[in-house]
Structure 1
Amino acid sequence: MQKVVLYTQPQCPPCEIVKKFFRAHEIQFEEINIKNDVESRQFMIDQLASYSTPTVLINDAEVVRGFNLEELAGKLNIVCE
């Protein structure tokens, strides 16, 4: 099983779409709200070089920055029909 962390914030429609996408494909994920977790927000900026949500970290190694379902599907081996 892959470890998936989704960095989100309130009022982020693309974040909601990514969550629905994960649920539809039965991808388990941890959600981190960067408005509530300042330390994680700083990690996202400093370590992941991402300045927007959604940002997805896969297996502590691969990062998908911004809204890109096609890239997420590829990195998570999801076949979209």
Structure 2
Amino acid sequence: MEPIVIYTQPDCPPCEITKKYFQEKGIAYTEKDVKQSQIAKNELIKKYKSYSTPTVIIGEKVITGFNITAIENELSNIHNEE
């Protein structure tokens, strides 16, 4: 499966919902806290052109916010490719 990265920050309810979604599905992800890491913040802004959290990266797909439809579509695309 493609690596999944979630850019988060503290006190972000949609971030918590996003992480809980992946945990409940048993899907591994890497969390990058943009408040704790300037490197993560720079990646989010410069590489992915996003200024909000959560931002979910699945392979090359960038999903801003907790967009369950986009997340599930991308996850199903990955499963279909395997």
Tell me if both proteins adopt one fold, taking TM over 0.5 as the criterion: yes
The correspondence of residues 1-81 of structure 1 with structure 2, limited to 5 A, is: 1-59=1-59, 61-77=60-76
Give the distance between the partners of 2:19 and 2:43, measured in 1 at CA.
21
The alpha carbon displacement at 1:6 in A equals 0.4
Deviations, residues 6-36 of structure 1 (Å, cap 9, x unaligned): 0000000000000111011111000010000
TM-score normalised by structure 2 residue count: 0.88
Question: Could you tell me which amino acid in structure 1 is paired with residue 65 of structure 2?
Answer: G
Q: CA deviation at 1:38?
A: 0.5
Which structure shows the higher helix fraction? 2
Q: CA RMSD in A?
A: 1.2
Structure 1 residue 2: Cα displacement:
2.1
What stretches of structure 1 of length at least 5 have no aligned partner?
Answer: none
Unaligned runs of 5+ in 2: none
Q: Specify the SS of the correspondent of 1:73.
A: helix
Q: Between Structure 1 and Structure 2, how many residues are aligned?
A: 77
What is the TM-score when the length of structure 1 is the normalising length? 0.89
- Identity over aligned residues, as a percent? 42
CA distance in 2, matches of 1:12, 1:42: 19
Which runs of at least 4 in structure 1 moved beyond 2 Å after TM superposition?
Answer: none
Q: CA deviation at 1:45?
A: 0.5
